[in-house]
A and B are shown apart, each in its own frame.
Chain A
């Protein structure tokens, strides 16, 4: 011991720091050996990692806050980033629950299974996708076909659909959002699997719902779409008709649940394998009337009993 001290010699603090650092750097790679599990729960507080769809993130946050209030021993970390992000994280094993505003794709399921995880699906709420414009825009109603033509680039001026002589600025969510994929399949391609129409390349891809909102609020040329929960008073919601002669319907809980509003979808959570313990408790709680009330409060559509 004393010999050791002699070899090292009397050290100043800065030298000690240097030494510790070099040791740290040498041994760093070995830190990677014990796999770092995300739910490294300490004795008292359990952590649920919850990540994914930006559409769901505010709902998930509200649920998490409420659930943590009731169960102080549980901590829930909520992260957005898009459905694809959450599902990728679930596949990579870095989260406990993935939020998605679309169903998992077959390839995603395959790669999950290849990675040794087994995603289990839960429908936790429903969402109407509202088509929104600036309140100054006189256009009130559009058919699905017109929406498809707008977003695929066939209609480029509001005049062509009964509006003012203004260029149409198309706003869309980024391609990693489930809303984007849903809108592509159900609106741009009118639900036809064979249809390979794409968004017009000059569609603005905004990285977030709020990016769309900010542009809609101040730009009368713009048209966008977003979950009903994101619509605020400074935007105008467009009535949508399924077919050319059909009735124009505004999105709401009733019109979604009775099927009159065509652009609505389920919202999902995926757990890694059949959930147990606190994750099961949490997912069960989400379907209680108490939790579903929060769904309605936030402008989403509660799952009808």
Chain B
């Protein structure tokens, strides 16, 4: 409980410090807004030219885009310590000070940074969700709302887990490893569209290795009454747990890796 309180307090303080330069903050937030709107525009233009993507209608596609966008940028806001700052913490030797304090390293890393500018991206994603839900005429029930909430929460955990892979590589090699971006940012690009449009190797990669399909596409298929792969409804509630599994696994690996950590000495 104490840990959660600590995290909330840190987030509050970090947000305050970010707001110290309101003009720059506003401009950057605005830039984020336009950037994410441009991503959304690409989906709209694709729909405009191609009408549909296999069985998926425009509304469905906007919904898929929205789920990915909200999940990814919520993770970036609150998990910035892992998704962005870890390599520089490690390289600059600041990680050493975290080892001295009576709290877990991961907790402190999470408490070290937030990125409130991304709220603009979440807003675009939420707008896409609402537009998509209207266009696809989703009949909302409490169960469907639960499925969406579950998908968002476990989606964040999945992303944190995947970004931890980069952190682990970083502990061993000091340098940040661009290659890992293929499954984090690559996953975002690929899985903002439903997985079943891709050829088998990509499908396997984003279902088994980085299970975006299980965490996001299965529940969204259920919401839209177009079950992915024809799977039964209950899978929409079980599959997202894969996100928690990935996070748990990577957390264990991260703890092992930290035992091998040698300071950069600077």
Report if A and B associate in a common complex: no
Q: Which residues of A contact B (CB under 8 A)?
A: none
Q: Which residues of B contact A (CB under 8 A)?
A: none
